[in-house]
Structure 1
């Protein structure tokens, strides 16, 4: 082995070997175990959330493969309709072209070309973090096999009456010109205003004042609502109001939606441009009035002077006219949540448009068939309520069921060109015909089309194809093998359906609604099975202070920068590149220079993965700290150096002792017992998805017990005269190390594989690499609890001696006298048994016993049960000077304690100081008292 561990050198070679050898493919043996990768956008690059989530999945897949399961990690990418189309349109804009200049067919060809050239960035980055995925089965949501599944699902649901076309209110992006899902909308807090506007009654005798943050939408008002029990307005319910600036009259209506305690208790109702107002309008049968075009300009349904204005220009004009008419009562600053498109940064406008929907709410259709609630929603609810599907942590099942209990119909159409084009055609009379293609649509029609047919221009929501991921990726609905564009078989439903349901879905809570629930709906409907047995909801990664990672804050981290390291100036340039506002760039640069003055150190993939594992608790968020990652790089170094120690101590006879032979020394039997216990813990933590506990158990065993203790405890045997003990110890060192490498492999695959290539052959193992080794089973290891008791006693004695050395500042190289006093018969026997080892490891003279009642020299002592472990101090330190020093320190601490007591004894301080200050003071007095006790004990040892 090389003297030092260099991650970059080993990571670049091992992954390519694994993939080339087919190590990631299903073995065809054992019980099926499948994990579905949440398909990242083909436009994407690896971020911290991806790296964390994929590390969790990879640990599970590697662990289950080692356990003998027939594992499949099904991977692929999503075509990301909006994001991908936007990238290519931006490229065209540089050429001063639009997609309309190319036409639909040529534009789609351009997108496919981009995908082939640039669409594999994120999958290549996944390889960097060690993702043990079966890349030979990689799927893309627009490939032919998945597209066939999309068409079948649409057609079957349409013919079952569960998909319909209707005019409904949707989130509309006026820049992209398409409906978008709630997930693609960010609610951003912005500074705005609240305007109060007076509406006069038709007879001019009274008025109402309404408050709004969007005064331009007043042009589309159809009513003013008040609470039915609000006595202030009871006499006005049913009367007509003059709608300012329009010449129209609108009614005053009563509805429980109104919060009578908020503002004036009067709410303007604009059903065509507000989701809550739309619901009110539906209840009161109020016809909506649309006032915006699809590019957010004012249309012809308003007075002529406002027509054609951008919505914000219209706002200024409306406010000016209201003020001139003395109807603008008040303007005041107001913080508001503004819906902003993730893709274009445009403010979303609720718009009434013709869209396609999946029925998820009706109990029964008009013709008596089951509606969407019965056919789709209820089975998805029952799957979780019955326990067929379990959430981890369990509380997320409540989130899932609450959303499905209150679900709305799903808008599945998008006004884009890139995506699965809706397989629907219209005749000249507006009738709809659905089929695989135009010929199938005609053949399936119950009535003859009127004239020529034209296909719907819209494509399906990206989430529609993603909802089919659990079964479409396995080859459904094809009868035989499914091939990719290179002619390679990527799926075969008849063979691969054994992987449905998959074992666990690892995903974030933010897509429980958009993806998790929809996969359950579609999979239950079309296959009769659940898509997965468990759903592990991983935490969201935040920065070290718990702040959400954001480019504008300058606290984002690129996982590849953490793996490879990056110098300060390139880091600054990279982090500020996409920030357009100079002030933001300056702020981000300042933060980076403060947080990473030397850039980001290279920590390697394994250290990053161990950090993720150690952070993976049941928490909603986790705070990522580079310093912690550096600590796990130190762990990797510790493991590397331990392996070098073991291999260098093979001796002339090597490691050729039979594995079945009983270990000779108690230290060996102790470490094997602890290995057995650790493996049992790790297995349980894999079952419960407590990767943080799993990482801690492995860390404690490897660092503290194997590297720190067993390697030390092995030295007396390795350097002693007992050849059998030396040979047995060398063998146990290697056997435990090999088991440790296997146990660590799911978490840190690269370094374990690199070390194993030198360790495995020493034990006569024939596997090509560690990835092919079985999981080390706790049941295969014999426990020796008696030996454990002996070694724990020995460790406590050594720890006590070393602590005294440290406290008294005695050089570790100095040989010191050692005395024992008190204790019982077992202590006397153990001292006799371990005398040589104690002297060797603690660097002491031969231990001596002090008889009961005999005079004792001034000593520092440690207590192990009833036994006192004593180091005489004469000649080791200047007792007089040490007593003086301790006395001064004790006096200083006593002064500090009195200060704290004085503050906490002051009732005014306790009552008026911030709670955290009082708590800090109480903690200080606790800490001071602990220190004082230790100092007094030390002084007493010296006779002070």
Structure 2
């Protein structure tokens, strides 16, 4: 073994070897033929690059896949890409713009052809980056949501929903991007803080003298042209007498009623709001409930439309200026004030989103959601953590009908054809004639489906559905899905109800909602904010193992700050493991691994390794990745390297064959436990061990071994004595020769050159005990402090009491 561990060449070599030898493939290493373990990677955008969320999610999924593969399961980790409708179209449109062209200049067919060409040369980068992370996906099975077979699956799903009577067309309010001129999903809307002017304008009573009325506040005076009512809260006494009267809308001088609605916030502005159903989501709901008209005064391009009369064609800012000037002349503008608030913008082009009533295709959710709700309530699918399970249920209970159409060219075009008489033909394959009148002149609906419509089929369409393939029979349903909380409603729940509708079974049993990795300063990671960080950077600097370790170590809560320190800790751990392995192998000569412990520290390390195995199995089964990674750190750095290896060194240097054989056996088990988190360095060391019959990636996971369990706490007193000595210089009286020998070998007190004060240390510990007992006797502290804080205080008190007893105090 080289004196220093350098991950650069090692990691790439093993990544190539594992894949070339078929060890990433479904079924590799399987010894339990009847048992499968399946995860489908959330399909990243085909245009995207790996970000920190991908890196964390890939790392924790890989732990589960590698762990189950070592346990003999037939594992499948399914890779692939999403076609990412608006994201991909946006990129290609930008390329066209460099040539002075728009998609309309080249036409739909040519635009789609150019998109495919662009993808062949530029797209599909993330799978290569996943390889660099060490993610053991079955790359031979890569799927794409625009593959021919997948397109057939999408069309089949649409026709199934149509035949059920759940798809309809209607005018309803959507998130509208005026640049791309399409409806977009909530996830494609980014909320940015902007500075606006909140303007208070009086709407005179229609039966008054013009001086009295109701004042409303708005930041969008251009939308006044679409006002059809003024609404107040039914319990707001200020307006009780006004409900039912009419007011006159400024500029257009339309008479509208004052209505009451509990959705109005009495604390905002004047407590009265203008109701503009065509251009505000809440107003749309209010309008529908009160049977109000829905005039639309802003067009798909974001400019004022013909319904705006003499303001048609103007930008909203200019139109709003005209409206305000008119109102100023008549003394209706009462106040202007600075107002900072969040507005929606398209995450791709950053245009301000228009809430717009638009004719779209919708999927009715009531019947489709019922089986999924039942599955969640019965815990046939469980979200982790529990708070996200409750959110998943609530989001299905209140799921609005799904807007499934998009006004894009890249994507799955709706399988709906129209004849000249307006008849609709809906089927998977392109029809030759109208199914109602037999007309052969058919026009296909130009809209494409929401990207999430096709993603909902990912767990089974990747396995060949709607064909009944052997892969589908073997690997569906799967086991785990893992993703970020932002897409619980958009993706996870939709996979659940789609799986139940089309396959009659839930697609997986557990959903991990992993941590959101924030920038080090607590802000969200974003290229536009300058807080984004490419995970390839720490991988290049510290290695994939260290990066995986650092991300996992820091994944204990739903929002975590990126920590380079945790990644540096991972590199130190890899180096420490390398050095201790090198020490053992240098002294092993031709000896093979065999657990033949003679001394206390040997029985202790074998017991500690088995105890850590049990902790890891419990932690990974609960998806507790941070605490499990911490277990591995302490087992390797503290127990194996700092205590066991130091204590056993004299026998290794004496070429004791039993000590070397036991050390190899212990190292072999340690490498197996570490492998799912740090696969490269462990595989490299494993390959140096004698008599290797298999790669570590498919080596058996260590079986329980309780032979030495009684010695699991054998070094507790020695370790407490070391802690006291390192802190105070005071030596504790130890009971046995083994304890004293191990203490001298590890702590080396003769090198410390300290003169400890036993009495001072006893006094310090007594004060700590008194403080701890006082805190834990305080009922308010015990009841109100976080459980982990109270537990930490109890652990400290117990430690202080043990140390005090050890010193005879």
1:783 alignment partner in structure 2: 708
- What does residue 87 of structure 1 align with? 91
Q: Which residue of 2 aligns with 1:110?
A: 114
Alpha-carbon distance in structure 2 between the residues aligned to 1:298 and 1:859: 85
Aligned residues of 2:432 and 2:440 also touching (Cα < 8 A): no
Distance 1:245 1:736, change over 3 A: same
SS at match of 1:112: helix
Aligned twin of 2:552: 613
SS of the residue aligned with 1:273?
coil
Which residue of 489, 503, 515 maps to 1:527? 503
Q: CA deviation at 1:656?
A: 4.2
Which residue in the other structure is 2:787 paired with? Answer: none
Classify 1:731/1:781 alpha carbon distance in 2 versus 1 (closer, same or farther; 3 Å).
farther
Q: Deviations over 1:509-561 (max 9, x none)?
A: 11001001111111111111001100111010012332222334433221111
Once residues 236 and 837 of structure 1 are traced to their aligned partners in structure 2, the CA distance between those partners, rounded to angstroms, is: 87
What secondary structure sits across from 1:224 in the alignment? strand
Q: Residue in 2 aligned with 1:178?
A: 182
Take 1:797 and 1:204, find their aligned partners in 2: how far apart are those partners? 90
Q: Which residue of 2 aligns with 1:581?
A: none
Larger Rg: 1
- Identify which of 140, 147, 150 aligns with 1:146: 150
Q: How does 1:619-768 map to 2 (within 5 A)?
A: 619-651=557-589, 654-656=590-592, 659=594, 662-719=596-653, 726-759=656-689, 762=690, 764-767=691-694
Q: 1:355 to 1:644 in 2, by over 3 A?
A: same
Residues 253/502 of structure 1: CA separation in 2 closer, same or farther (3 Å cut): same
**1:774 matched residue in structure 2:** 700
* Structure possessing the higher relative contact order (Cα contacts under 8 Å, 6 or more residues apart): 2
User: C-alpha displacement at 1:498, in angstroms?
Assistant: 2.5
In the TM superposition, residue 203 of structure 1 has moved relative to its aligned partner by 3.0
What's the CA shift for 1:693?
A: 1.4
Conservation of the 8 A alpha-carbon contact between 2:362 and 2:405: yes
User: Quick one: which of 390, 398, 411 aligns to 1:398?
Assistant: 390
2:475 pairs with 1:506: no
Aligned length: 761
Q: What is the CA–CA distance in structure 1 between the aligned matches of 2:196 and 2:755, rounded to whole Å?
A: 74
Q: Gapped runs of 5+ residues in structure 2?
A: 765-795, 797-802
CA distance in 1, matches of 2:636, 2:531: 33
> 70, 76, 88: which one pairs with 2:74?
70
Matched, 1:56 2:36: no
Q: Is the 8 A contact 1:67 1:775 kept in 2?
A: yes
Query: Displacement, 1:735?
Result: 0.9
Task: Please name the residue that 1:287 is paired with.
Answer: 293
In 2, Cα distance between equivalents of 1:260 and 1:788: 65
- 2:37, 2:273 → 1: CA distance? 55
CA contact (8 A) 1:716 1:837 kept: no
- Quote the Cα distance in structure 2 between the aligned partners of 1:60 and 1:449: 55
1:797 deviation in Å? 5.3
Instruction: State the secondary structure of the residue aligned to 2:573.
Output: helix
1:713/1:313 CA distance change after superposition, 3 Å: same
Name the CA shift for 1:667/1:296 in 2 (closer, same or farther; >3 Å).
Answer: same
Relative to 1, partners in 2 of residues 1:790 and 1:473: Cα closer, same or farther, differing over 3 Å?
Answer: closer
Taking structure 1 as reference, are residues 524 and 663 closer, same or farther at Cα in structure 2, changes over 3 Å only?
same
Equivalent residue number for residue 245 of structure 2: 239
Aligned-pair CA distance for 1:839: 6.1
Tell me, in whole angstroms, the C-alpha distance in 2 between the residues paired with 1:334 and 1:782: 70
Matches of residues 249-264 of structure 1 in structure 2 within 5 Å?
249-264=255-270
In structure 1, how many angstroms separate the alpha carbons of the residues matched to 2:294 and 2:143? 44
Listed one character per residue, the Cα deviations across residues 576-623 of structure 1 (whole Å, up to 9, x for unaligned) are: xxxxxxxxxxxxxxxxxxxxxxxxxx1111111111121122x11111
Kindly state the Cα deviation for residue 38 of structure 1 after the two structures are TM-superposed.
Answer: 0.6
1:269 aligns with 2:261: no
Go from structure 1 to structure 2 and tell me whether the alpha carbon gap of 1:92 and 1:545 turns closer, same or farther (over 3 Å shift): closer
Give me the whole-angstrom Cα distance separating, in 1, the residues matched to 2:564 and 2:37.
Answer: 34
Contact map agreement 2:203 2:332 (CA 8 A) in 1: yes
Distance 1:747 1:441 in 2: 58
- 1:844 CA displacement: 7.8
2:446 paired with 1:457: yes
Decide whether aligned partners of structure 1 residues 798 and 347 sit closer, same or farther in structure 2, where only a CA change above 3 A counts: closer
* Residue 192 of structure 1 pairs with residue 196 of structure 2: yes
Match status 1:332 vs 2:337 = yes
Query: Which range moved further: 622-631 or 731-740?
Result: 622-631
Relative to structure 1, the CA distance from residue 207 to residue 441 in structure 2 (aligned partners, 3 Å threshold; closer, same or farther) is farther
The match for 2:317 is: 312
Shift in CA distance, 719/181, structure 1 to aligned 2, threshold 3 Å: closer
- Structure 1's unaligned 5+ residue stretches are 361-372, 480-492, 565-601, 809-817, 846-857, 864-882, 891-926, 928-933
RMSD of aligned C-alpha atoms? 2.8
CA shift at 1:501, angstroms? 2.0
User: What is aligned with 1:604?
Assistant: 543
Q: Does residue 352 of structure 1 match 2:354?
A: no
Report the Cα offset of residue 254 of structure 1.
2.5
Partner residue in 1 for 2:3: 3
Deviations, residues 449-473 of structure 1 (Å, cap 9, x unaligned) = 6783211011000000001111111
- The Cα of 1:795 is off from its aligned counterpart by 4.9
User: What displacement does 1:237 show?
Assistant: 3.0
In 1, are the aligned partners of 2:554 and 2:566 still within 8 Å (CA)?
A: no
Q: 1:88 to 1:699 in 2, by over 3 A?
A: same
TM-superposition CA deviations, 1:46-99 (whole Å, max 9, x none): 111110111000111000000011100011010011011111111111111122
- On the 8 A contact 1:672/1:783 being kept in 2, the answer is yes
Q: Relative to structure 1, is the Cα distance of residues 313 and 673 closer, same or farther in structure 2, using a 3 angstrom cutoff?
A: same
Q: 1:91 to 1:790 in 2, by over 3 A?
A: closer
Structure 2 residue aligned with 1:203: 207
- 1:475 and 2:464 aligned: yes
